[in-house]
Amino acid sequence: MEATVNEIKFTDKDIVDVEDCVYAGEFNPHNIHPFLFHDHGYVLCVVFASHLQDALDKAVDEDKLDRFQVDAKEVEAMTDAEAEELSFLGNAGEPFDIENLGFIELSPPKRSWVAEWAASNPQPQPA
């Protein structure tokens, strides 16, 4: 299956941590919801978190934002002003230049057993 938001298409393959999903209507005191990360419309991943910083850290820890990582030698060669533009992300606190990274906060999905069953058990169409 495929979903589209703002003309950006994503599938189940793009979801990093589906086990962290909190569905609409379920108890959600930390406001866990999906974040879709993309690079000019090319989907990088979807992660579930309560805020953007946690979502970025999860995406980095799952190696989904490697294209934005800055090599340590490059950091050393940067001016102080350039280095201040970097974000230090993930459990390791590595440097990333995420200026061109796009994200969309999505609403939590509603859970439907029937929709899940139908998607995994397609019925033949009458001729």
Per residue in 56-111, pLDDT tens?
A: 999 999 999 999 999 989 998 998 999 899 999 999 999 999 999 999 999 998 98
Q: Is the pLDDT of residue 126 over 80?
A: no
Q: Which of 28, 34, 12, 9 is nearest to 115 (CA)?
A: 12
Measured on CA atoms in the order 9, 15, 19, 21, is the torsion positive or negative? Answer: negative
Q: Which of 62, 4, 79 is nearest to 36 (CA)?
A: 4
pLDDT recorded at residue 88: 94
**pTM score of the predicted model:** 0.86
Q: What angle do CA 104, 107, 113 make, to 5 degrees?
A: 130
